[in-house]
Amino acid sequence: MGRQNKKKLFRKKGDYGYMKSEKIRRFLVTAGLFVLPVGVLIAGWLYYGSRNNVLTVIAVVGALPGCRSIVNLIMILRCPSMDQEVYQQIYRHSKGLTMAYELYITFYEKNAFIDAAAFCGNLVVCYSSDSGIDGRFISENIEEMLKKNGYKVNVTIAKDLNAYLGRLDAMREKRRELEKGINFKPDPRYPGLSRNEMIKHTFMALCL
């Protein structure tokens, strides 16, 4: 297994295990945001002997961030996680490529879960286990968003795992050829990131 599969509680977006860790993180944040308002509400009730007091108003106002956090928690709870065996297979075939895992991408019209995405040159090759994904719609919209950010790439979404693994092998073998002759000016906001990593970064900005 790769470094991304090491046991740690919280994972970064794009790492395998992100969905599970993000659900835990958002739950803890949501619970934490309600601790103070609930404490104020109880304190006011005990002190005044009634909930009709100024501290109740303060508690209600203070609960608003927690309410917003609940919405975010519900959204992430609806997202699936990537199968560990599938991750291991993809990892073995993707060594040397810039990869991202467990991406739940959202557009106004449609949403989709993308298990893995490989970034190389002008290609973004994805695999999705989401049986209901509209591959053409999602890929076209990703291409449009990346183009608006200065990256004209071709995005494909595979639904067959074996076909995807074969595509990864081909990308690894032809990596230098795929990246040859592409001009890239590093973004001063993200020093040190390669073009593939910048495309990955922009792609992930579209995801939860």
Do the Cβ atoms of 54 and 44 come closer than 8 Å?
Answer: yes
Q: Which among 17, 116, 28, 129 is positioned nearest to 69, based on CA atoms?
A: 28
| CB-based contacts of 198, cutoff 8 Å, min separation 6 | 151, 184, 187, 190
180's CB contacts (< 8 A; 6+ apart) are: 121
Amino acid at 37: P
Amino acid 157: pLDDT: 97
Q: Which two tokens stand for residue 207?
A: 């995801």
List the pLDDT tens digit at each of the 208 positions of the chain: 444 444 566 789 999 999 999 999 999 999 999 999 999 999 988 988 888 889 999 999 999 999 999 998 998 998 999 999 999 999 999 999 999 999 999 888 888 999 999 999 999 999 999 988 999 999 999 999 999 999 999 999 999 999 999 999 999 999 999 999 998 888 899 988 999 999 999 999 989 8
pTM of the model: 0.86
* Furthest C-alpha separation in the chain: 75
> C-alpha angle 160/162/142, rounded to 5°?
50
- In contact, 44 and 53? CB cutoff 8 Å: yes
